[in-house]
Structure 1
C-alpha cells in the first residue's frame, strides 16, 4: 500500500473491506483471509448416514432361495420360526417330563400322555391321532405301549376299539410336569409382558396355517 505523505497507512477502500473476514471469535479463518463456502450437507464430505450407519439385514430366513421373488416372502420367515420353535418345544417337553420324574420319554410320548389325561376320559388310538394330527398310527400305538409298560396309562375297551385311561401314576406325572412348567416356562413368558390375547391370536394363526399346509400336502401328493 502507498504511503500518503507524512501520514500513516492509507485505509482500505470500503469495497475491499467487504471481502475481508471479521476477526470475531469462532470464525474459522484468520484476520485478513477471504471466507470460502462450506460444503453442502449432501456433498461427499458430509455423508447423510454417518460413519456408524448400519445397512438393513433383510428377512431372517433359513432358505433364502425359497423367499426371493415369491408371492409371499414373509412365509419363509414364519417357516424358519416354526422350525426353531418345533425343535425347542420338543426339547422342552422331554426335559420337563424328565424333571418331573419320568425320564426317557420322547416328545410324542409326552403328548400322548397329556392327551390321555385330558378331560379324564378314555381315548382311542384314533382319537389321539386325530387330535395330535399324527398320520402314522403305529407311532401313537408304540407310544401307548411304552406308557402302559411304565404304568402311566392302562388299556380298556370301547366296543371293538382299544382305549387308554390315565393311571394315578400318570396323573401324578402330569401334575408334576405342570408345576415345573409354571415355575420355568409360564412365569418366564409372562414376564415378557406379552398379552394373553396376543398368544391366543398367534395360536389361531398357527392353526389356520396348519390347514393350508395340509391342503397343500394333499395337492402335492396328487402331482
Structure 2
C-alpha cells in the first residue's frame, strides 16, 4: 500500500510506524522515526518517574536534571568536578549542571570543596540518605514490578548498549550539522 507523507510516496506495510513527526518519516528508515518517538515518550516517562521517586524519598520540587546530578555526585563516593559531571552526563551547557549543583547545595544534599583552584562536589550524609531511600522506592515500585528474569535483563543490557551506540551517532550527526 502506498501513502502520501510529506509530499512523498512511502510504502507502508500492514503496520504503519508509530511516529510523532510523520513529515520526517523516510522510506529509508521509518524505524528510526519510530525509535525517536519511542525515545521521546520513554525519556519523558523516565524523567517523570525519577522526579516522583525522589519526591517520594523526601526531596520535593527537584527537576529530573537535579535528581540525575545528585545521583551522579553520589556515584562511587568520589568527589566530582563540574567538567566531569557534564562530560559523563553528556551535557554541554555547564550552567545547567552548575545551577543544579547550587540548588542541591542549598538543600544541604551536596557540598563543594576547594583544592587549590579546583572545586569538587560530593553528596553529604543527608544526600546519601535521600539517595538510599530513592533506591528502596525504586526497588519496590519499579524493579519488583518488572519481575525481570535473566532473559529480560540480558535484553535490557543489550538495549542499553544500543542506546550508547546511537548516542554516539547522534553526537556525530550533531557535529556534522553544526558545521553546515
Out of 59, 67, 77, which is 1:102 matched to?
Answer: 59
Out of 42, 46, 54, which is 1:85 matched to?
Answer: 42
The structure whose Rg is larger is: 1
CA distance in 1, matches of 2:95, 2:21: 32
* Bigger fraction of residues in strand: 2
CA distance in 2, matches of 1:60, 1:192: 28
CA RMSD of aligned residues (A): 1.6
Unaligned segments of structure 1, at least 5 residues:
1-54
Matches within 5 A, 1:66-81: 66-69=24-27, 71-81=28-38
CA distance in 2, matches of 1:62, 1:158: 48
What TM-score comes out, normalization by structure 2 length? 0.89
CA distance in 1, matches of 2:163, 2:58: 31
Q: Deviations over 1:38-62 (max 9, x none)?
A: xxxxxxxxxxxxxxxxx93411111
Give, in angstroms, the shift of residue 68 of structure 1. 3.7
Matched with 1:197 is 154
| Partner SS state of residue 195, structure 1 | helix
CA distance in 2, matches of 1:192, 1:120: 30
CA distance in 2, matches of 1:193, 1:184: 19
1:57–1:195 CA distance, 2 compared to 1 (3 A): closer
| Partner SS state of residue 147, structure 2 | helix
Q: Which runs of 4+ in 1 moved over 6 A?
A: none
Give, in angstroms, the shift of residue 198 of structure 1. 0.7
Residue 172 of structure 2 corresponds to residue 222 of structure 1 = no
Q: Deviations over 1:21-78 (max 9, x none)?
A: xxxxxxxxxxxxxxxxxxxxxxxxxxxxxxxxxx934111111221142x22211111
Matched with 1:62 is 20
Unaligned segments of structure 2, at least 5 residues:
1-12
Matched with 1:181 is 138
Matched with 2:7 is none
Matched with 1:120 is 77
Give, in angstroms, the shift of residue 192 of structure 1. 8.2
Give, in angstroms, the shift of residue 93 of structure 1. 0.8
Task: Number of aligned residue pairs: give it.
Answer: 168
* Bigger fraction of residues in helix: 2
| Partner SS state of residue 163, structure 1 | strand
